[in-house]
Amino acid sequence: MQFNRLRLTGFKSFVEPTDLLIEPGLTGVVGPNGCGKSNLLEAIRWVMGESSYKNMRGTAMEDVIFSGNSKRPARNMAEVALYLDNSERTAPAAFNDSDTLEVVRKIERETGSAYRINGKDARARDVQLLFADASSGARSPALVRQGQISEIIAAKPKGRRKILEEAAGITGLYTRRHEAELRLKGAETNITRLDDVMGQLEIQLVGLKRQARQASRYRNISSDIRKAEAIQLYLKLSEAEKAVAHERTVLDEIMREIGDLTKEAAHATRLNEDAVAKIAPLRQAETVAAAVLHRCNVEQETLDAEEARANQRRAELNARL
């Protein structure tokens, strides 16, 4: 993999767009302490898909954006573009239609990173795989940072194996194997989950079958009950019709009796009216008779008193005689 050019905009101390041409042969960057030499290597690692802000010597990924100094305000965005030589057309098929591959990573405050390969949006994974296939990448031992040589010398066999694997050009395969393993694990988890779900569904199925049996029994029993109720209602209806017919006969008889009694009542009313009409002169006669009786009683009392007086006089006269 041949890098042609590195372009930084707003990345760490490189506030203005800066191009670093990487010509064939050995390229060196020389400068005083703190001038930004390590920032260039970090820019290369960052554009290759570095995901750890600690490896960028920051406390958050946004720390790679120019944070301002005494003369210039902070920026809101940083962008690094890495140009790769593809004249031999060794890039993956999806990006293999031009002589140069342009890989761009851009970060904006509170938005996060976005990648582009040859102007097309890409995922971090695509960029990481592109470099891994070429035995390079943000974590590749081919990129040596300060103090890393001594780390490699003191590294454990596993660490050294990584260097050998990169030399053999099989890092991409390992990355893919790791991805495939992750997918496999995901699939296994899904299968286990599906087994669980199927177990639950089977339990539900048993319950549902039982419910279906109960429902069909319920339907049969309900239909029997409906039939029995219909018969009962029919019997009640015919009994009620009989009772109505009987009651109608009774009613007719009663109506006839009422007719007779009404006639009798009318006759009695007439007789009563006649009697009332006859009572008035009789009452008058009674009053007259009562008055005559009263006068006769008074006269009788007077005559009785006169008789008593006459008897007393006769007794006196007899005595005198």
Q: Which residues bind ligand ATP (CB under 6 A)?
A: 12-13, 31, 33-39, 63, 66-67
Of residues 31 and 157, the one with the C-beta less far from ligand ATP: 31
> What's CA 42's distance to the chain center, in Å?
49
Cβ 184 to ligand ATP shortest distance, Å: 40
294 alpha carbon, distance to own chain's centre: 110
Pairing of strands 18-21, 2-9: antiparallel
Structure tokens at 181: 């393993």
Of residues 66 and 115, the one with the C-beta less far from ligand ATP: 66
Q: How far is the CB of 183 from ligand ATP (least distance, A)?
A: 37
- Which one, 3 or 53, has the nearer CB to ligand ATP? 53
Q: C-beta of 114: minimal distance to ligand ATP in Å?
A: 19
The answer to whether 46 and 138 are in contact (CB under 8 A) is yes
Backbone angles phi, psi at 283, to 5 degrees: -65, -40
Q: Which residues lie closer than 8 Å to 49 by C-beta, 6 or more apart? A: 105, 115, 124, 127, 128, 131, 137, 138
Q: Which residue is closest to ligand ATP by CB?
A: 38
Phi, psi of 249 (to 5 degrees): -60, -50
CA 192, 195, 199, 201 torsion-angle sign: positive
The least CB distance from residue 140 to ligand ATP, in Å, is 19
Residue 69 or 269 having the CB closest to ligand ATP: 69
Beta carbon nearer to ligand ATP, 39 or 140: 39
Least gap, CB of 20 to ligand ATP (angstroms)? 13
Mapped onto helix, strand or coil, the DSSP state of residue 6 is strand
Nearer Cβ to ligand ATP, position 109 or 209?
A: 109
Q: How far is the CB of 146 from ligand ATP (least distance, A)?
A: 6
**CA 189/CA 144 separation, integer angstroms:** 39
